Structure 1
């Protein structure tokens, strides 16, 4: 059982420790120290729901109705491009990039943005529902130990990234550093969005 849980932990980390829209957003907000807990909890609860559904068998449903994924790809691609354009605009005006300036996100808006970046991304379904669901079910009755391992990975990663990002706050006291970060986020979001639309 421990070995299955460890496999789930390592598999979960391999999937979520990647530069993507959700992680880039969490990193930026973690550095700003703005609405970190609501974002972290939203990321974590999204993983709990999606991975649990995958382990419980929703992966089979999505495999039978593959038309759901292309629709999610188009919506997700457009949203990521729009998010990237917004990040590019922030980078273009560095005066608004300081953590103490600009319009702060409300908890509700932070949660909605996180939900959009998570659930409009078809890779989220492929990874959390289909892939992890398939791997988990290969362990038979021990699949729930695999689930426990993957959810532990999500817990460690999101809390670590969200609240560990504050260690970089000194570096990002200068607007130029925010310009670089937002430029990188714009490129990542744009590339992901174009990639989703292209496929």
Structure 2
């Protein structure tokens, strides 16, 4: 059985259409590692890092599907399993960077792209790759661009998630009260996130059950 690690509960609902085992790690590297380890304990024979990603390559727009052959972190590279990658419809060009924290600003995204060559970034893929390597299991990545390289993430997006991978409405509300000027950016992010989720659903429907 293949297991999928997501950051958000909303992503986990989509991933459940693809694989039998799903665990939401709460939108962070540490949580993703714990989620991946839980999936191994439940008998997963391979792991997929699944969900949204931030764009580093300016050419990648919201809704772009990524099935990268490589995951990067701090000078280390993990190769996704070729057969699993092909089963997802990949590979797509470029690597994904599995950072430990959100890369929120346009300048920070550009700097990471220039330094690593990665085309996108997320919080879970490196953690999933590390757990897979430790247990000698194959892994792959299925991600979709949500926030593009040319857009800053609004402050509310950085505090919205709780440890269970749910969006806390009160956290968002408090952030908006403190900085109401971010509302247009939040609306744009919500629109792009909805587009990204639709793209994931479409890809999962095309793949079928693994």
Structure with the higher fraction of residues in helix conformation: 1
Fold match by TM threshold 0.5: no
User: What is the TM-score when the length of structure 1 is the normalising length?
Assistant: 0.29
User: What is the TM-score when the length of structure 2 is the normalising length?
Assistant: 0.28
Structure with the bigger RCO (C-alpha within 8 Å, sep 6+) is: 1
Structure with the higher fraction of residues in strand conformation: 2
Greater Rg over alpha carbons, structure: 1
